[in-house]
Amino acid sequence: ETGVTQSPTHLIKTRGQQVTLRCSSQSGHNTVSWYQQALGQGPQFIFQYYREEENGRGNFPPRFSGLQFPNYSSELNVNALELDDSALYLCASSLKGLAGDNEQFFGPGTRLTVL
Amino acid sequence: AQSVTQLDSHVSVSEGTPVLLRCNYSSSYSPSLFWYVQHPNKGLQLLLKYTSAATLVKGINGFEAEFKKSETSFHLTKPSAHMSDAAEYFCVVSEGSYDKVIFGPGTSLSVIP
């Protein structure tokens, strides 16, 4: 059983650019959630994908978008990057069953720096 | 609305002494509650979870937490701290579905030899 993997591990972009982050979910999991963790803060929920559909969204603007593929891997896309987008982006996978009772398994994260 | 308060941003203990990390939550429904640990440059790891079963929850590495509905608390404890426990700890509340997962701001635990 492989764990959650994310790529790349580090990324540097400039303001206004676009970025795509990738996540491979744990084997057997059908749900992927994305979080943004600014330095010194707790992770904030961006959105969740279940069976290729967005299943919920946090307080993030539309320039944050995502995809989930048939193999349940996922992408997070951020357009028109701003300096405040600099953060650790975490992906978590889970097996959706009883709501609220499914452990999320986190990847190591992608560190995005916007200059 | 859900919210999570971690009462201490930083806790420092001596090796071998007890650990107490405090968490209070606000939730409109019967929540699920979790504690996660984050070591530097590593992913978040689940320590334990409460999902309306026993109110005293035992987790990995000797940690446990007690759900107290009357106090809306879910404090994390460990009888004896180890150097490897030094990390960031997050209390998390979830209502019903994971689109309503809220992380607390975190408590940084230092263990002094």
Q: Is the peptide bond before B40 cis (omega within 30 degrees of 0)?
A: no
CA distance A101 to chain B (A): 7
- Does A31 contact B98 at a Cβ distance shorter than 8 Å? yes
Q: Look-up: residue for tokens 């689940």?
A: B46
Q: Is the pLDDT of residue A96 over 80?
A: no
Question: Which of these, B71, B62, B87, B86, lies nearest to B22 by C-alpha position?
Answer: B71
Cβ contact B43–A107 (<8 Å): yes
Q: Which of B36, B95, B99 sits opposite A55 (nearest CB)?
A: B99
The mean pLDDT of A2-29, rounded to a whole number, is: 93
**Chain A to chain B Cβ contacts (< 8 Å):** 69
Model pLDDT, residue B97: 61
- SS3 assignment, position B30: coil
In a structure prediction context, what are the per-residue pLDDT tens digits for chain B, which is 113 residues long? 678 999 999 999 999 999 999 999 998 777 889 999 999 877 899 999 987 778 899 999 999 999 998 999 999 999 999 999 999 999 998 876 655 688 999 999 999 99
Taking CA A113 as the corner, what is the angle to CA A108 and CA B3, rounded to the nearest 5 degrees? 60
Q: How confident is the model at residue A19 (pLDDT cuts 50, 70, 90)?
A: very high
Residues in chain A within 8 Å Cβ distance of B45: 106
Which one of A31, A42, A107 has the shortest CB-CB distance to B105?
A: A42
Q: Is B68 helix (H, G, I), strand (E, B) or coil?
A: strand
pLDDT of residue B28: 74
For residue A100, what pLDDT band results from cuts at 50, 70 and 90? Answer: very low
B interface toward A at CB cutoff 8 Å?
4, 31-32, 36, 41-46, 49, 51, 90, 94-106
Q: Which of B56, B79, B78 is nearest to B66 (CA)?
A: B56
Calculate the dihedral angle through the C-alpha atoms of A34, A49, B45, B97, rounding to the nearest 10 degrees.
110
Query: pLDDT class for A1, splitting at 50, 70, 90?
Result: low
Cα–Cα distance for residue pair B87/B84, rounded to 1 Å: 8
Our CA dihedral for B78, B84, B90, B96, rounded to 10 degrees, sits at -70
pLDDT of residue A67: 96
CA atoms within 13 A on the CB side of A103: 13
Antiparallel, parallel or unpaired: β A19-24 and A10-13:
unpaired
CA A38 from chain center: how many Å?
13
Close Cβ partners of A24 (under 8 Å, ≥ 6 residues apart): A2, A4, A5, A6, A73
Map residue B110 onto helix, strand or coil.
Answer: strand
